Amino acid sequence: MPSQPSKKLETFKNPAPVRDYEIAFDCPEFTCLCPLTGQPDFAHFKITYVPEEKCIELKSLKLYLWSFRNEGAFHEAVTNQILEDLVKACAPRKMTVHGHWFVRGGIVTDVTCTHEAPKSAAKQARKKA
């Protein structure tokens, strides 16, 4: 059965929760629709994060990003939604989602959203490990 787009983000256990390390995803083929014109919008997303207890599984990330293909949304809303959904799925110590939106009307748009867990929560979680 062929893959289908999905909003479900899968995770797996962080193999090294006692240390800070960064995971980076480079997603150059994102598409969604302009909510005003219905025309396709194209973006290159870069996602970086420092995991806490869980890591994002790659195939589920691909299917999640694909799920936006037929949805209309503004650049700012999509970028923030991706950050919110990823944070909800894996509760990272820190995460940044950068969307580089390709030319529309002669203008390139870059949107960067960041999440950082409170320092005390991250320290307590590491002490438990």
Range of the domain at 68: 22-128
Q: What is the DSSP letter of 31?
A: E
Helices (H) and strands (E) in the chain, counts: 3, 6
33-83: per-residue pLDDT in tens?
999 999 999 999 999 999 999 999 999 999 999 999 999 999 999 999 999
What is the reported pTM?
A: 0.91
Q: Which of 70, 71, 77 is nearest to 101 (CA)?
A: 77
Q: 86 lies in a domain?
A: yes
Q: 4 lies in a domain?
A: no
Domain at 87, CATH number: 3.30.1130.10
Number of domains in the chain: 1
97-120: per-residue pLDDT in tens?
999 999 988 999 999 999 999 986
Which pair of tokens denotes residue 129? 């490990």
Q: 11 lies in a domain?
A: no
Annotated catalytic residues are 34, 41
